[in-house]
Amino acid sequence: MNSWTYLPQLLASGITVGAIYALVALSFVTITRASQIINFAQGEFVMLGGVLTFFLLKNLGPSYPLAALMAIGIVVMVGFLMYLSVIYPLRKAPMLIPLIATLGASIFLSNTSGFLFGTLPKTLPPFSGQQPFQFLGVFLLPQSLWVLGATFLLLVLLYLLSHRTFLGKAMEASSTDPLGADLVGISRNRMVFLAFGVSAGTGAIAGILITPIFFTSYNSGTILGLKGFIAAVLGGWGKNTGAILGGFALGILEALSVAFIPAGYKDGVAFAILLLILYFRPKGILGSPFVDSRRW
């Protein structure tokens, strides 16, 4: 019975984590919309955002915002590099191989991070103070507000990007009809290249936002990436709105589950949800333009 009183608190923390899942899920969908590829190294971008900022702050001493921007810039470069060195050479291979290659890249990035920056968990200073404050009977960290606020901002930006700018529309076109887009001069490869940059940047921002609350270490990216993917599938694979909904849904469900099952199983909850969704409703909550019951 005691667990029930914790529910609002769990809900709050679930929403915070959910925002991060939403961002990661969005990054997955960005790449998939451009190219049908699932980039399993996505979580590593998040991890690198946090770890690099920490490293820069500690060793080069620029101001916090500057370090953050530099880190984001570097991670975007890493995203571009990954596209050029792994995805582009394999663009003609059957689906399985790029998938495994991104998994390989994920292993590479996490291990390199451990090698370069050490394996200890890292943390960053919260943006505006450590003191939790009370809101509707629940303790919130100021950082959580930053997370939610920044997530909202990013969502708006991404929406504007894909619907209002030419670039965004080009990316949409390229994913819906590659041949047609090609014929009007939109280079698919360039779109995918950009998509990698955008999703790397989004991931890095998510990493910087979350590190002050939960620590980041070299191997925390993998599981985060997987959960972001699960969130995207949960909400409706391939849809931006699905990614967001799925992210929050997963975060909340995961947080709430702690009230009912032993805490150690928490990670398993996400995967259990995945299996349930895949089995009962592969289209996800909002439905999916990519899932056809008869094909891939």
Residue numbers of the site for other proteins (CB under 8 A)? 38, 85-86, 89-90, 93-97, 99-101, 103-105, 107-109, 111-112, 114-115, 222, 226, 229-230, 233, 262, 264-265, 267-268, 271-272, 274-275, 278-279, 282, 291, 295-296
Write down the least CB distance from residue 286 to other proteins, Å.
17
The answer to whether the beta carbons of residues 256 and 14 sit under 8 Å apart is: yes
The closest alpha carbon to 177, from 75, 36, 288, 79, belongs to 36
Interatomic CA distance for residues 9 and 138, integer angstroms? 6
What letter represents residue 180's amino acid? G
Contacts of 231 (CB under 8 A, 6+ apart): 18, 21, 22, 24, 25, 243, 246, 247, 249, 250, 251
Q: Locate tokens 């199983």: which residue?
A: 265
Nearer to other proteins, 132 or 268 (CB): 268
Write down the least CB distance from residue 267 to other proteins, Å.
5
* Angle subtended by helix axes 188-210 and 64-82, to nearest 10: 140
Nearer to other proteins, 37 or 57 (CB): 37
Nearer to other proteins, 116 or 160 (CB): 116
Nearer to other proteins, 140 or 249 (CB): 249
- What 8-state DSSP symbol labels residue 263? G
The answer to whether the beta carbons of residues 199 and 27 sit under 8 Å apart is: yes
Write down the least CB distance from residue 80 to other proteins, Å.
16
Q: Is 112 helix (H, G, I), strand (E, B) or coil?
A: helix
Angle at 106 between CA 292 and CA 285, to 5 degrees: 30
Q: Is 133 helix (H, G, I), strand (E, B) or coil?
A: strand
Nearer to other proteins, 61 or 264 (CB): 264
Nearer to other proteins, 144 or 217 (CB): 217
Write down the least CB distance from residue 219 to other proteins, Å.
10
Nearer to other proteins, 4 or 280 (CB): 280
**Which residues sit opposite 122 in a β-bridge?**
216
Write down the least CB distance from residue 253 to other proteins, Å.
15
Write down the least CB distance from residue 149 to other proteins, Å.
31
The answer to whether the beta carbons of residues 53 and 208 sit under 8 Å apart is: yes
Q: What is the DSSP string of 27-43?
A: HHHHHHHHHS---TTHH
Write down the least CB distance from residue 126 to other proteins, Å.
30
Write down the least CB distance from residue 295 to other proteins, Å.
7
Nearer to other proteins, 34 or 274 (CB): 274
Interatomic CA distance for residues 36 and 288, integer angstroms? 13
3-state helix, strand, coil in the chain (%, to 5): 70, 5, 25
